[in-house]
Amino acid sequence: MRFKSRRNKVYLRAGAVIKEYTDAQAIVREADTLRFLSKSGLAVPKVLQQSAHQLVLEYIEGSTYLELVEKMTSQKAEALAEWLAEYNAITNSLRGDVNLRNFIWSGNECVGIDFEEPMIKGDLEEDFGKIIAYAVTYNPAFSANKFLCGKLMLKAFLDVGGAKSPMREAYLREIDAMNIRRNSFITQDQAATFFMHICQEINSTETLYFYTHLRYYNNE
């Protein structure tokens, strides 16, 4: 079984993931990062074996977050938010490569994979905004399911301390970058309006929850 990878040959063999590298520095960087994160308590694959050009990694069974964008739940969104917040707290760095294939829902937690790129310092909202941009623009972009996914993710990101304004800015920057990479054209107005509607939906849900519980307590 082969896995999609832009740089390396990655495949499943005998219940483990074999990752063959062309860049000797990348293999050392990824192995060291995985060991450090695992020791820090973050959910990542275990390094089973390392050689000059190959890593043997624990296979994490489950669904990638790319496979979940059409059926996102609050539990899965919260697990992703918590993983990213913990990663940022441990490393004081961005995850950077927030392709949704790099996050796996194992059935009870989010597991991060693919750490060959160098760490980059930055605020957590940069990762959050980029992930929302990825999630809501996969074909079909801005659909009803993508709206629900975006809402659940944004709510989860806010709940772990993300700030809305810098998330929005990162989201819009990534939309522009995607237009170049994908040779597509999503206008800033389209993207900004979609984000605004997600925010309004979160606010209206929270307002309804507040007033419902206020009436409940007043009637006791």
Nearest Cα to 87, choosing from 102, 76, 75?
A: 102
- CB count within 10 Å of CB 210 equals 10
> How high is the pLDDT of residue 219?
43
> How high is the pLDDT of residue 115?
93
> How high is the pLDDT of residue 208?
46
**What is the percent of the chain where pLDDT is above 70?**
91
> How high is the pLDDT of residue 9?
87
Q: Look-up: residue for tokens 């760490």?
A: 119
pLDDT in tens, the chain (220 residues): 777 676 778 989 889 999 999 888 889 999 999 999 999 999 999 999 999 889 999 999 999 999 999 999 999 999 999 999 999 999 999 997 899 999 999 999 999 999 988 889 999 999 999 999 999 999 999 999 999 999 999 999 999 999 999 999 999 999 999 999 888 889 999 999 999 999 999 988 655 444 444 443 334 4
- Sequence length of the chain is 220
> How high is the pLDDT of residue 217?
35
> How high is the pLDDT of residue 205?
67
> How high is the pLDDT of residue 215?
45
Instruction: Please give the structure tokens belonging to residue 55.
Output: 């890593």
> How high is the pLDDT of residue 24?
86
Domain ranges for the chain, please list them.
2-58, 63-219
Task: Give 59-100 pLDDT, tens digit per residue.
Answer: 999 999 999 999 999 999 999 999 999 999 999 999 978 999
Mind spelling out the 3-state secondary structure of the chain?
A: CEECCCCCEEEEECCEEEEECCCHHHHHHHHHHHHHHHHCCCCCCCEEEECCCEEEEECCCCEEHHHHCCCCCHHHHHHHHHHHHHHHHHHCCECCCCCHHHEEECCCCEEECCCCCCCECCCHHHHHHHHHHHHHHCCCCCCHHHHHHHHHHHHHHHHCCCCHHHHHHHHHHHHHHHHHHHCCCCCHHHHHHHHHHHHHHHHHHHHHHHHHHHHHHHHC
Instruction: Please give the structure tokens belonging to residue 132.
Output: 């929302």
CATH class as words, domain 2-58: alpha beta
> How high is the pLDDT of residue 206?
58
> How high is the pLDDT of residue 94?
93
